[in-house]
Structure 1
Amino acid sequence: MLIFVLACFLTAFVISAGATALMRVIAPKLGLIDRPAARKVHTTPTPLGGGVGIVCGFVVTMSLATLAVWLLARDTTPPEWLPKSLQPHLAGVLQRAPQLWGLLVAGVVLAVMGLWDDFRGLSWKARLAVQFGLAIALVFAGGIQATVFVSQPWVGQLLTVLWIVVLINSFNFLDNMDALSSGIGLIASLMFATVMLGMVSEPRWFVGGALLALAGSLAGFLCHNWPPAQIFMGDAGSTFIGLNLACLTVLGTFYDEKLGSQHVMLAPLCVLAIPLYDITSVILIRLREGRSPFQPDKKHFSHRLTEMGMTKRNAVLVVHLTTITTGLGALLLYRVSDWIGAAIVTALVLCLLAVVAILETVGRSSSNGETAIKTPPAPLPQDAKT
């Protein structure tokens, strides 16, 4: 198990770190620079395109893994170093390879569109149309779909399409501070990999390995993006993270027939509670203010934390820690045997989100009150002074 984990994670880490370092040199020469603006929190021009490193780390690692499995499956006598628990799964991995390649192709297409958006700019309508097109293709042509225990297939297909598009935009929305979107993606990937390889009755090697590769790619990028960031991932990276996490959570099949607990299907919602909270709250704020849900601003969860007086670094750490907390709740779902225990875990996650929402509201009110108090009164006219 340890060799498998290290091989998946470290290979992606090295490739991603190297490719991101290369993009730090190439991006400025191409004019791919994110310059400070009113809605942005950074104060110095910073190269974009770090998402290319994430894409390279994941795609190259998964390509090498597929090639290695194909070579091992051809050998009638498996090598001694290959764990016996993995040997029966080689044929199954090859059977699922078309799904993997479909996901990789869709991810590259989305990353290229994100890179073009960073470079030239695209309308949100065009981006959303491509996202829905890729999601529909993955669901209906690629067979990446959830059943959600409903007999009508179209219900699971529709929910899967929406799940993919929502997560793509959730991680895109979160990419507003150094190490934020990539850090949450890393945490979520490791949480899901823990479930796939350690919480179910039989390890899900295919999805678990892909999640570890994604985590390694994000860790390699974070070497260059940790505050103060030397490069930003841009839309090429954030949308790529959301797409892969959405599809891998569907392919992972969190339900375990041997455990017989349907409530574990709530695990992805618990792990990704913070990204879902952020996109929901931001859209509601923008709609309430009569603006487009896709109009950029500084109303995100992390921005609202800085309004309370936190530094940007502390705001990012708070978001990371709350993500870890909700993720631990997801792991607990595999240790409770009935819906009562699942309801308690879910209630804990919801209470945490409610506390966050209340603190944000109080913080904004206090900030506005202090501003009003500190504003000096207008001077009286000269003839009114006594």
Structure 2
Amino acid sequence: MIWLCLLLVAVSFLISAPLVWALAGLGRRVGHVDEPGTEAHKAHARAVPSTGGLGIFFAIAAPMFAINIAIWLMPQQAYSGWLEPLAAHVHGLMQHAHLGIAILIAMVVVHITGLIDDRRGLSAWTKLTVQGVVAVVLVIFFDMRIFQSLAAHGGAGMVACIAISIVWLVVITNAMNFLDNMDGLSAGVGVVVAGLYLAATLIAGQWFVAALCALLVGALLGFLVFNFPPAKVFMGDAGSLVIGLLIAVISVRTTYFEADALLDPPHWYGVLMPLLLLAVPLYDFTSVTLMRVLAGKNPMSADRNHLSHRLVRRGLSPRAAVIVIWLCTLVVGLGGVMLAKLRPWQACLVAAQALAVLIVLAMLERVGFDRDES
């Protein structure tokens, strides 16, 4: 099945790259561009097409739709030859087919919301409301919940599980959306996070989630070809909201801890894996939100106080700042992949490493902020 996931990465990439290239040209012709100065959190010096999100969406959605159709229409005996290794997993994939459709519909909703926002502009609260409704539906009706062990503690535990899951889906969606403030940043972080989740789900044998990760990695790599600084195309909210939602769903559907595991049982702190893989996006989201609130601003308003902007003010070039954030995401996230299998003292080392990276970022960010204020 590993080869199949690699095939999905390739398929998604081969859809994304040429489609993003074509959409960039179309965006220029029809005037669907981000003009300099129109986005408070971006600092580009020229008009750049903002149509790349369509390419990302279709590179993920088209294979998802095709896979769901194939699972339902292909008889079991059709899985022969090079498809034979897939036959053992068809039943499990069919059981997850309704989840695939639900995720696909949720992606369509946030993608359309992003398209409207990119073209006409929507209030932050309107977008937040749409995300909230999508999260409520996924959590309540499709059991996309994090920390499900809480449900074993009665009604209060179930309510807490549902509430935390809804908040988590919305926060992660917005955290990735917030990262779309510099060329290559959101897409690159998305590749790192999705790649780490791909490794984790392959190790755990979670093929449904691994397939989602593979499609996301391929789509983002295809987009990144044209978004690496200096960017030739932007993803817009039509892309960043889809990335955020899909990463949020992946983080919820990945199994981190199985209390009834008999062989090589994992440790409870495996449930903290998503906090490590998403530590840097969450740090940026939390810090910039707190700064806005403390300054008396709308926490959803755009500005140039994100981590990437602070690193640039510290003296890094925009490209260097983006690469530093990619690498920090990778360094912090790598330890999280095998967290559940580590001994307590090893897990403490991983936690210390993650904390050290975040402290370094905080120090750099604070120095940059102080210099900007002086």
In structure 2, what is the Cα distance between the partners aligned to 1:169 and 1:365? 26
In structure 1, what is the Cα distance between the partners aligned to 2:65 and 2:117? 27
Moved more, 60-69 or 293-302: 60-69
Deviations 1:172-228 (A, max 9, x none): 110011110010001100000100002x3xx11111011111110111111111111
Indicate yes or no: 2:356 matched with 1:356.
no
Secondary structure in structure 2 of the residue aligned to 1:76: helix
Indicate yes or no: 2:273 matched with 1:270.
no
Following TM superposition, by how much is the alpha carbon of 1:19 offset from its aligned partner in structure 2, in angstroms? 1.8
1:67 aligned residue (66, 69, 73): 69
Indicate yes or no: 2:298 matched with 1:289.
no
Give the match for residue 50 of structure 1.
Answer: 52
Q: Between Structure 1 and Structure 2, whose CA radius of gyration is higher?
A: 1
Secondary structure in structure 1 of the residue aligned to 2:65: helix
In structure 2, what is the Cα distance between the partners aligned to 1:23 and 1:197? 33
Secondary structure in structure 1 of the residue aligned to 2:142: coil
Residues 114-263 of structure 1 mapped to structure 2, 5 A cutoff? 114-150=114-150, 151=152, 152-198=157-203, 200=204, 203-256=205-258, 257=261, 258=263, 259-263=265-269
Q: One-letter code of the match for 1:145?
A: R
Deviations 1:14-70 (A, max 9, x none): 111122122112223333110111732100000012111110000011122223333
Secondary structure in structure 2 of the residue aligned to 1:254: coil
In structure 2, what is the Cα distance between the partners aligned to 1:260 and 1:305? 38
TM-score by length of 1: 0.90
Deviations 1:266-290 (A, max 9, x none): 1111011000000000011111111
Deviations 1:56-85 (A, max 9, x none): 00001112222333345x13363021354x
Following TM superposition, by how much is the alpha carbon of 1:128 offset from its aligned partner in structure 2, in angstroms? 0.8
In structure 2, what is the Cα distance between the partners aligned to 1:344 and 1:148? 26
Q: One-letter code of the match for 2:223?
A: F
Q: One-letter code of the match for 1:183?
A: G
In structure 2, what is the Cα distance between the partners aligned to 1:100 and 1:343? 36
Unaligned runs of 5+ in 1: 370-386
Q: Say if 1:147 and 1:153, in contact at 8 Å, map to a contact too.
A: no
Q: Say if 2:16 and 2:58, in contact at 8 Å, map to a contact too.
A: yes
Q: Say if 2:72 and 2:94, in contact at 8 Å, map to a contact too.
A: yes
In structure 2, what is the Cα distance between the partners aligned to 1:192 and 1:2? 13
In structure 2, what is the Cα distance between the partners aligned to 1:169 and 1:366? 28
Give the match for residue 298 of structure 1.
Answer: 304
Secondary structure in structure 2 of the residue aligned to 1:294: coil
Secondary structure in structure 1 of the residue aligned to 2:77: coil
Q: Say if 1:99 and 1:143, in contact at 8 Å, map to a contact too.
A: no
Secondary structure in structure 2 of the residue aligned to 1:352: helix
In structure 2, what is the Cα distance between the partners aligned to 1:261 and 1:249? 18
Deviations 1:210-250 (A, max 9, x none): 11111101111111111111110000111101101111121
Moved more, 137-146 or 176-185: 137-146
Q: One-letter code of the match for 2:132?
A: F
Moved more, 319-328 or 32-41: 32-41
TM-score by length of 2: 0.92
Following TM superposition, by how much is the alpha carbon of 1:346 offset from its aligned partner in structure 2, in angstroms? 1.7
Unaligned runs of 5+ in 2: none
In structure 1, what is the Cα distance between the partners aligned to 2:330 and 2:365? 19
Secondary structure in structure 2 of the residue aligned to 1:62: helix
In structure 2, what is the Cα distance between the partners aligned to 1:117 and 1:219? 24
Instruction: Provide closer, same or farther for how the CA distance between residues 137 and 104 of structure 1 changes in structure 2, counting only shifts above 3 A.
Output: same
Q: One-letter code of the match for 2:213?
A: L
In structure 1, what is the Cα distance between the partners aligned to 2:168 and 2:304? 25
In structure 2, what is the Cα distance between the partners aligned to 1:295 and 1:77? 53
Secondary structure in structure 1 of the residue aligned to 2:81: coil
Structure 1: which 4+ aligned runs deviate by more than 4 Å? 366-369
Q: One-letter code of the match for 1:111?
A: H
Secondary structure in structure 2 of the residue aligned to 1:43: coil
Secondary structure in structure 2 of the residue aligned to 1:279: helix
